[in-house]
Copies of this chain bind each other. A is one copy, B any other.
Amino acid sequence: MGLVCQQCLARNSALCSAMIGDEIDDLFSIAHQVKVDEGGYLLHEEDPSKYVYNLSSGVCTLERLASDGSRQIMAFVYPGDFIGINPGPFYSVSAQALAPIVACRWHMKDLEGLYSAYPNLEQHVHGIASRVLAATMDQLFVLGRKNAVEKIAYFLLYIDGRQRKFDGHSDSFVLPMTRIDIADYLGVAVETVSRAFSQLRRRGLIELSQAWVVTLKDREGLREVVEHTVG
């Protein structure tokens, strides 16, 4: 019985949750555990996409680097999230660890081999892929149509939603990423991120006991900010 899996933070992820009871052993038996130190890369955008990963612990970014050095973060990846599920010859993003990470790795081929035994596994994989697209479109909308403060408000609510399941039900959470990461995620400058945080704090919508410890004082107010309701 896959004890390792039963205790995994990602046990209820979209993929692993498709396997009930001892079935998980089938999935585990073809998995490899990989670890990456903080700042290290799990994979690079130009790597051939042989493997699929499911993050067990830690946080990482999916990012793309331009020739001029500028960086765009496409997503923040939390335990239970997948990396590399999208078919194609190469991952088209790199995955960098914001904290030490542990991930389960499968050969794409091996995983596909399980499809016949577990028919809903394939659907699950594609359901995951489509949720990634939905999130990316949300981000696209925000980058295209929102100003700096609105972007930060969106970001905070987004992170709150992502982390609540790990951080418990408190209104505070610890940001695993730096201001630079946030800036590269939202397509603005670091200083702009900092100023937007300060403005939201001054407005009483958030509290910052430390730079990376955020308390949402007024979720509804933040939502209004995102919605452009200048109020």
Contact = CB atoms under 8 A, between A and B. Distances in A.
Interface of A: 64, 66-68, 70-72, 74, 86-88, 92-93, 122-123, 126-127, 129-134, 136-137, 139-141, 143-145, 184, 186-187, 227-229
A186 to B, nearest CB: 7
Contacts of A145: 66, 70-72, 187
Contact of A66 (B86, B129, B141, B143): B141
Contacts of A187: 143-145
Given A66-B145, A87-B126, A130-B86, A137 B228 contact: no
Contact of A228 (B67, B74, B131, B227): B67
Contacts of A127: 87
Contacts of A68: 227-229
A71 B136 CA distance: 16
Contacts of A136: 133, 136-137, 140
Given A66-B227, A67-B227, A87-B130, 4 more contacts: A74-B140, A74-B141, A129-B129, A140-B143
Given A126-B87, A187-B144, A187-B145, A70 B134 contact: no
Contacts of A184: 144
A130 B88 contact: yes
B67 A137 contact: no
Contacts of A227: 66-68
A129 B132 CA distance: 11
A74 B137 contact: yes
A144 B127 CA distance: 27
Contact of A126 (B93, B129, B131): B129
A133 B86 contact: yes
